[in-house]
Amino acid sequence: MENPKAFTTSKKAMVFLHYFGGDAGSWQWVCKHLEEEVLCYPLNLPGFGGTSVSETPSISSFSKYINDEIAALDLKDYILVGHSMGGKLSLNAALQNVANPPSKIVLIAPSPPTTEDMSADEKERMLKHPDKEEAIQTVKKGTVKSLNKERFEYAVNSQLRIAEISWQWWLNTGMNNSIATQVKKLTTPVSVIFSEDDPVITEEAIQKEVLPYLHKATPISMKGIGHLMPLEAPKKLALLLKQLLA
């Protein structure tokens, strides 16, 4: 009888970095459609998913954490997938991981490597945390396609679990820290999946604040989906990710 582990070891590994407001579990519906072909490793970033924060949050410390997790998993050939905040962090993590960089990077509605445009009123609203009513509004404002009850509740509750230090850091600092100059040096192939209807990271932001800074970028546009792609369209997203495996 063949060793069943042989089937596992032939799969491509994908490391998933979640959006601000989400956590590792936000990828569960995407991974469900990938599990036969892909080894999925969704990470909880520090302070997210109920995890602790050992270092002062920064793009650099989060990137180090990501690369330490990849090293602990002993991954040698992997694709790094980042959604929104996770997209910006995936670019920086890849830059820092000189010894073992990803073979590809997939950005999903990424927070720009420059700065993320957010109105003062919206920032003030989001800084009210943890607040269930504001969390509900954040999900409603970020989505175009209706979420079923399970996914909607997950998107609300994942916000409420986030450590205050990480929440405050991203809104006040992380999203405004530009890594654009460094990202221009990145040689890893990058695919950028975005929605023309995203109310948070708009198509204009992708065209002006993301693509010009990436040396080897392939844009992939979608329609009828908002910012929370892994929750709004997990099957479609999984299909795109499968196509990027080759």
CATH code, 139: 3.40.50.1820
Stated pTM of the model: 0.95
Number of separate domains in the chain: 1
> 216: Cβ–Cβ under 8 A, 6 or more apart, which residues?
187, 188, 189, 190
Could you tell me the CA-to-CA distances from 69 to 3, 46, 62, 108, 135 in Å, in that order? 27, 11, 11, 21, 29
Q: Are 170 and 138 in contact (CB under 8 A)?
A: no
pLDDT in the model for residue 216: 82
DSSP bridge partners of 193: 108, 220
Go through the chain and tell me how many residues it has: 246
In the chain, DSSP finds a helix count (H) and a strand count (E) of: 12, 6
pLDDT in the model for residue 1: 33
pLDDT in the model for residue 186: 96
Q: Walk along the chain (246 residues) and give the pLDDT tens digit of each residue.
A: 333 333 345 789 999 999 999 999 999 999 999 999 999 999 999 999 999 999 999 999 999 999 999 999 999 999 999 999 999 999 999 999 999 999 999 999 999 999 999 999 999 999 999 999 999 999 999 999 999 999 999 999 999 999 999 999 999 999 999 999 999 999 999 999 999 999 999 999 999 999 999 988 999 999 999 999 999 999 999 999 999 997
pLDDT in the model for residue 9: 55
pLDDT in the model for residue 121: 97
Residue range of the domain that includes 209 = 5-243
pLDDT in the model for residue 86: 99
